[in-house]
Amino acid sequence: TFFSTYLANRLLEAGRSVAVLDCDAGQPAIGPPGTMGFAVLRQPVVFLQDISPRQLYFTGTYSPGTSFLEFGAGLARLFAGARSAAETVIVNTPGWVQGDGGRLLSRSEIDILSPDMLVLMQRADELRYMERLFPPDNCERLPAAELAAVRSQAERKSSRERLEAEYFKDARRVEFPFSAVATDRCYFLSGTKISRKQANKTIGAHTILWAERLGSREGMLAISTRPLHYEDIRALGTAFDASRVKVTLAGDETHVEVALNDGQNNVLALGIIRRINYRAGSFDIFTPLPAAMIKRVKVVQFGFIRVAPDGREEGSIEPGYF
């Protein structure tokens, strides 16, 4: 990040228009944790955090290892935006470069970006494999700074929690009716609603708060106040001609981090789900989004991490759970 800032300042001084694209969703210099983003420099800066992001992309996780598809899609989308905003784009990539996943990630970054110049900042020969994948004249090798400490997982977590707390410090509760938004990266609200009364009658109980029919091969979704017995699941499948019944527990949505996006799925702000009111049909979300922008929210994009309003990490959720 320091090198990206230094290089951007030098290029700016040389009269070039410069954008910096930060791909480290776990320790971001641009935007909150769980996002990648780019910013355009108008004047020299000491810290990239001092620049307002031009565009963000919500990965929904802190590591590309758990969000390869989201990372690749976000990188491509942000790079297209950065190229249209500046003549020079500096991409600050994640530090995960070794092992099966690290090598695949590095190779994918090159394929997506087709960079003019590759700067390898490495300890010992950890990036030797990258040197062989790129023309020597377009590859610069630099030793990692001796003062650049490798932070432990606990230190990285503490840093993320501090950044999350800072981002949500002025947040407030906002309600978004189901009728006003679509959902993304989840099954919930993506199908055809099934009568709650009819679903509960099928199992002879009053535990189902929401039900909907999904795609023909996806079956149905039932959100219940308790785990459903096998007999209940089989009865629902038979009654609603569903080959699969996906059951989610009400309340499990609490503190799931989401992105609040506009109609083009551009991130307006992040939010934390306080609860979903299935009976009233609305999301109760904690967000710093300005009041003037609330009506621009058209998509609630689910992430895969839980974060308390004070920034504390509360674990992750499996993709597809909702």
57-114 pLDDT per residue, tens = 999 999 888 788 899 999 999 999 999 999 999 999 877 677 787 788 888 888 999 8
pLDDT for res 148: 56
Domain shared by 139 and 11, yes or no: yes
Check which CATH number belongs to the domain holding 139 and give it: 3.40.50.300
Domain shared by 312 and 205, yes or no: yes
Domain shared by 136 and 184, yes or no: no
80, HSE (Cβ side, Cα atoms, 13 Å): 7
CA distances (Å), origin 137, targets 116, 133, 212: 10, 12, 57
Domain shared by 299 and 252, yes or no: yes
Q: For the segment 302-311, what is each residue's pLDDT rounded down to a tens digit?
A: 999 999 999 9
Q: For the segment 200-224, what is each residue's pLDDT rounded down to a tens digit?
A: 999 999 999 999 999 989 999 999 9
Domain containing 76 equals 2-150
Domain shared by 204 and 99, yes or no: no
In a domain, 208, yes or no: yes
pLDDT for res 120: 81
pLDDT for res 40: 95
- Structure tokens given for 287: 């967000």
Spatial contact of 38 and 20, defined as CB atoms under 8 Å apart: yes
Give the C-alpha separation, 146 to 84, whole Å: 36
Domain shared by 80 and 182, yes or no: no
pLDDT for res 95: 72
- Name the stretches of the chain with pLDDT < 50: none
Domain shared by 318 and 189, yes or no: yes
Domain shared by 10 and 124, yes or no: yes
The total of structural domains in the chain comes to: 2
